[in-house]
Amino acid sequence: MTRIAETTRAHNEAAPAEEKSVGVVHSGRRTFLKNTGLATMAAMVGASIPFHRNMPAGLMPVAFAQDGDVLAGKDGLTLLNDRPVNAETPAELLDDAVTPTSRHFIRNNGIPPENVDPESWTLTIDGFVDNKLELSIADLREQFEVVTLQLTLECGGNGRSAFDPPAKGNQWTHGAVACSEWTGVRLKDVLEKAGVQSNVVYTAHYGADGHLSGNPDKLPISRGLPIDKAMTDNILIAFEMNGEALHPMNGAPLRLVVPGWPASTAQKWLTRIELRDQVHDGPKMTGTSYRVPAYPVAPGQDVPEEDFVIIERMPVKSLVTFPANGSDIGLETDVRGHAWSGDRSISRLDISIDFGTTWQEVELDDPVNDGAWQNWRTKVKFPQAGYYEIWARATDSEGDMQPFAIAWNPKGYLNNTMHRVGVRAS
């Protein structure tokens, strides 16, 4: 049985009856696709549509008129779950300095909205503000400075599959991370125009996606940020991704992009930001969701719920994107990848080919802008033919270095162990 089949079977065994109908799921996807705009549809098929004026109303392009349409416009992603949709990118497909839209991972908590028309989309800013705002995407473009930044997004559970004992949730390997180029306006600028009142401590984010149960009164996810973090310069309300409309599975037509913190704070299909005088308590903000124990714990240890704390910045991490794991290569090869560390920079990247006995510092680029991952590269000569592992170890600007072993926690978050790639040299 394939991994996808196992995931689907496990979901169907656990899901309420109203969630089990595959026909309903696929029908919803097709309705969603039929209601996408031209720019969004072009982004999904990966090219412009020269004869779009000839397309009958409601026509769904045959390129994604199939059961696999959920990953339309994506290239080589591994589907972990289809309700909600979650898909990661193999490490070797993340080799680009800027992640193409087609290779950006997907992390959903609910069902994407069907109506994603950017012309009618509005964003509300309310709560403890001096002036409630109702903004269209055109208003955002006209009333605020439009900026473009390369920003790293990573799921808090990236690397969960390596936990032992296992942690429940999507079994991400290494591919729930990306650094695309995002265009939008600064969240800070919009909040300043609304007028942040002195009692505000947290933001609350809301999207148009629906709960898996179909209950319109339930939200699949609503997370937020401490107001000090929200007022930093590199958090965007984004309406473009790599110079094109956002991909539907990446939040079209409007989303938050919050680099360096769990991507769950970067609400997709964004419709509202509320300013609150308390820590936000929306879905996936309380209990153990996106939280870790406040102290180190042994693998498998039970931890009282009250001892969990909210994850904020993501830890130092790196990825080998070339050569691919399992490759047959020559005795000399290029080696390259990326490194990142929450809201810090990377100061050093080392690799080892002898199982950590010796280390070699590599060429490391500065970040293009605050919030972007850093690209690195080197050349390696293997002493003789055989099996080797290339290990990558990043050190950040505060001296934190990637560990060899996992710091286990019950929910399987924040795995930042060294990435290892096995190759056969000859």
pLDDT per position as a tens digit, 124-166: 999 999 999 999 999 999 999 999 999 999 999 999 999 999 9
| pLDDT number for residue 43 | 63
Question: Is residue 250 located within the same domain as residue 366?
Answer: no
In a domain, 333, yes or no: yes
Residues in the chain: 426
Q: What is the per-residue DSSP string for 135-180?
A: EEHHHHHHHS-EEEEEEEEE-TTTTGGG-SS--SS----S-SEEEE
385 belongs to a structural domain: yes
First to last CA, the chain: 34
pLDDT of the residue at 408: 97
Q: Give how many domains the chain has, as a whole number.
A: 2
In a domain, 79, yes or no: yes
pLDDT-based confidence at 59, cuts 50/70/90?
Answer: low
Tens digits of per-residue pLDDT, 385-400?
999 999 999 999 999 9
Ranking 11-15, 48-52, 87-91 by mean pLDDT, the lowest is: 11-15
Q: Does 183 fall in a domain?
A: yes
Whether residue 27 is predicted with pLDDT greater than 50 in this model: the reply is no
Whether residues 280 and 320 share a domain: the answer is no
Residue at 299 is within a domain: no
Q: Where is average pLDDT lowest: 30-44, 149-163, 206-220, 356-370?
A: 30-44
- Is the same domain home to 249 and 328? no
Distance CA 312, CA 260 (A): 8
- CATH for 336: 2.60.40.650
Q: How confident is the prediction for the chain on average, in pLDDT?
A: 90
CATH number at residue 116: 3.90.420.10
Per-residue pLDDT of 265-303, as tens digits, reads 999 999 999 999 999 999 999 999 999 999 999 999 999
On the 0-12 / 13-18 / 19+ scale of CB atoms within 10 A, 105 is buried
User: 181 and 149 in contact (C-beta within 8 Å)?
Assistant: yes
Beta-carbon contacts of residue 144 (< 8 Å; ≥ 6 apart): 185, 186, 189, 190, 193
| Strand-by-strand arrangement of the 346-352 sheet | 327-329, 419-425, 386-396, 346-352, 360-361
The verdict on 281 and 325 lying in the same domain is no
Q: Are 19 and 137 part of one and the same domain? A: yes
Q: Is residue 30 part of a domain?
A: yes
> In this structure, what token pair is assigned to residue 219?
């939200």
Residues 133 and 53 in one domain: yes
Choose among 65, 31, 11, 13: nearest CA to 210. Answer: 31
- Residue 308: inside a domain: no
175 phi, psi to nearest 5 deg: -100, 15
Residue range of the domain that includes 371: 316-425
Confidence of residue 53 (pLDDT cuts 50, 70, 90): confident
The answer on 164 and 54 residing in a single domain is yes
* Residue 12 scores a pLDDT above 80: no
Examine the domain organization and report whether 195 and 247 are in the same domain: yes
Distance between CA atoms of 191 and 228, rounded to whole angstroms? 12
Whether the pLDDT of residue 29 is over 90: the answer is: no
pLDDT at 9: 36
